[in-house]
Amino acid sequence: MGNGVLAGKTVVELGSMIAAPFATHILQQLGAEVVKIEPPAGETTRKLVRGGPSGSYLAFNRGKRSLCLDLQAPDGQEVFRKLIARADIVMHNLSPSAARKLGATFETCRALNPGVVFCHIKGYGDGPASEEVASNPLAEAATGVMFSNRVEGRPARLGPSYHDQFAGCYAAIAVLSALMSDDPEARNIELGLYETGLHIAARDLLGVQLKSQILGRAETEPSAEFSIPGYGAYETRDHRWVYLVMLTDDHWRRFCAAAGIAADPALATLRARRRDRPRVEALVADAVAAQSFDDLAAALSARGVGHTEVLSTDRVLDAPQARHPGKLSSFGFSDLGFESPDFPVPSQRRDSGLGDAPPLLGEDTTAILCSLGYGEDRIAALVAAGTAVEADPAEDLWSRPAKAVAVGG
């Protein structure tokens, strides 16, 4: 590791929630300097947990610089234009109408900086819905993901905002591609959450087309485990959950050998196991329930069976694989300490570690304005007018529970 492959590049971000901030988080991890422009109230994820920053803000805004600016004010627009003129990349996920209102369009930015790479993550790309607003769960609902994910029969969103984060990944890929291209048109990147969802769902969308043509009817898989017996989560004797991968006949043979299940020629093929699914499920569940997690995991590893424990979020970073050097960065924010996973390709990312914290709201406002040529009096006037906002290091960011008071003596 060193300064990262994007060292020397400057990104201007007008991002909220996840998609654009996640994209610029990747670019920051690759070495770019990211200037995050936020409105006077701060971006949405600064106020989601007890009135303060959420996990999304802490995770995806590390190492950025915060410029707090009212872009609806003429003086705020002046600062914005100066920033764009010096930027290499502009990234945002504003609605189309808000982007036009604030001058955050490709045409406006190109006029200020002909070489800028511009990326707009929208709800929808070109098409009849291009002006509509969409979010992660709407993309899940519209592209088939939510239909199969149900809670007590009701379609429900997934836990993590995967469509937002996939869109952020696609945006980062497109930016890197544009930086390598001599084609000016490649610098105008427009990406829809809906189109991201379509691409993610391609396997399932083609799978249902395949079965419709072979079987003469539409048929979707009834579960995320593809109806393969022995594929999924099972509870061990000590009430821990192991997740098993059982895609092939070889996987089945290896599992049976590890779990002490006698070979049965009648269950040797996947087609046969599917026909006798209840018996296979009972065999697997009983074999797993008869052993402790540690004993079973050791046997599965020895036989090369794909498996892992199903972990609650509070236990994930305790795993030896997660604790291996080079995977996490530690930082302090306010009076709290955190560990956050890094971009998983160490050879491409910048040196991180202690001190790579997310910024307070407006933490870099004065420094950035100075770099743009504003003097002390002018900066003071912008702050006094509310056009620019400086950080308050003494601000208590979260509303915290009152400490319990001992009763009696």
Read off the pLDDT band of 354 (50, 70, 90): very low
pLDDT score for 225: 62
How far is C-alpha 51 from the chain's CA centre?
Answer: 22
Q: Is 163 exposed, middle or buried (0-12, 13-18, 19+ CB in 10 A)?
A: buried
How far does CA 344 lie from the centroid of its chain? 13
Which whole number is the average pLDDT over 189-206? Answer: 95
> Any residues with CB less than 8 A from the CB of 381 and at least 6 apart, and which?
none
- The answer to whether residue 407 scores a pLDDT higher than 60 is no
Which pLDDT value is given to residue 211?
87
Give me the pLDDT at residue 322, please. Answer: 96
pLDDT, position 400: 87
Using pLDDT thresholds of 50, 70 and 90, give the confidence band for residue 350: confident
Q: What is the pLDDT of residues 336-348, one digit of tens each?
A: 999 999 999 988 8
pLDDT above 70 covers a percentage of the chain that reads 95
Closest CA to 116 of 93, 83, 94: 83
**Whole-number Å distance between alpha carbons of 236 and 234:** 7
Q: pLDDT band for position 162 (50/70/90)?
A: very high
Q: What is the DSSP letter of 266?
A: G
- DSSP-derived letter for residue 44 is G
The mean per-residue pLDDT over the stretch 146-158 comes to 89
Q: Are 280 and 230 in contact (CB under 8 A)?
A: yes
| pLDDT value at 21 more than 70 | yes
280 closest CA partner among 243, 236, 227, 241: 227
Report the pLDDT value the prediction gives residue 409, as an integer from 0 to 100.
39
**393 and 95 Cβ atoms separated by less than 8 Å:** no
Residue with tokens 């990104």: 11
pLDDT in tens, 293-324: 999 999 999 999 999 999 999 999 999 999 99
Each residue's pLDDT tens digit, 380-397: 999 999 999 999 998 899
Q: 305-320 burial by CB neighbour count: b if 16+ within 10 A, else e?
A: bebebeeeeeeeeeee
